[in-house]
Amino acid sequence: MPVMRAFVLTAPGAYEVRAVPAPEPAPGEVVVGVERVGVCGTDVEFFTGRMAYLQQGHSAYPMRLGHEWAGRVAAVGDGVDPVWIGRRVMGDTMLGCGTCRRCLRGRHHVCDGRQEVGIRGDRPGALAERLAVPVSSLHVLPDTVDATLGALVEPGGNALRAVQAARLAAADRVLVLGPGTIGLLVALFARAAGTEVHLMGRTDNSLAFARALGFAHVWREGEVPDLPFDAVIDASNAAHLPATALDAVEPGGRVVYVGLAGEPSRIDTRALVLKDVTAVGILSASPGLDATIRAYADGSVDPRPLVAATVGLRQAGPVLAGERPPGAGPGPKFHIDPGLS
């Protein structure tokens, strides 16, 4: 039986790079040769054992992480057109059942019975040399979207959907809370739409990096100027910032929540009502993947500077543990290339 190398998380903080059986494509599936995988906050939560899915029974160790990926189709299963072989692709993380009311209405990303690649439902992730996924989840990458950009489509789709939910006009002003990967992607998409973008963060390094990306309006928490913000997008993991977002937004404006805290957040719904504010929650990149690919392909958004380093499978554990590889740049994102030693 053919084998491949894979990063396997066996318990909180415990992992191995081991030889595992290489996947064979089931009917309706393809096998992708993985070229690049992004490490995200969800992966870190699994590494620390704090991810809620572990307590809810949706996930269990041992598991293979990796849901932000790009690669090339290497094999197809029964019922899949062989024309897919050799195509460069990325894939939707959310795999709905396909038959429930939500799936039939195009909301497979909130299907109760969904699998999530590398996250939920025992669907192995992309931290391996090969990955099996349904052909229906694939999105083709044009030549102008390289492996780095391809692995940034999934987080970019979340950010794009947050900006779309804010319904920003070119003359509007938006405040983005949290200059991490998602917050910076939100800022990039909002800037591409012609919006005046403000970012709020805590650390000198994150604020300096945001300025290096060309964002002039960068503030520490507690120092944001008293300006009318037509929308506020919370891309942080701080439990108190959802309330800050509601306080900061203009009456009649919109607050968008795309970040998740490790404990419950609370807002005063009296303020929500009395300010006539619309609040929107964003889960999943699924409806925004194609538009994100187009934005990367035409260059209107270029998130490549966010990637601080690309390392091999053996360095995935230290990265998940919070270590920055030697020579890493200032960005918040790390990529894994399973082809590296």
Note whether residue 52 is domain-resident: yes
Which pLDDT belongs to residue 63? 97
Q: What is the pLDDT of residue 95?
A: 97
Q: Are residues 12 and 148 in the same domain?
A: yes
Domain total of the chain: 2
pLDDT of residue 1: 76
Same domain, 229 and 162: yes
Whether residue 164 sits in one domain with residue 113: no
pLDDT at 341: 73
Q: Which residues of the chain have pLDDT under 70?
A: none
296 located within any domain: no
Question: Does a structural domain hold residue 295?
Answer: no
Claim to verify: residue 206 and residue 223 sit in the same structural domain: yes
DSSP state of 27: T
Per-residue pLDDT reduced to its tens digit, 70-112: 999 999 999 999 999 999 999 999 999 999 999 999 999 999 9
pTM higher than 0.85: yes
Q: At a CB cut-off of 8 Å and minimum separation 6, what does 156 contact?
A: 185, 189, 285, 288, 292, 295, 296, 301, 303
- Which domain range does residue 310 map to? 3-152+303-336
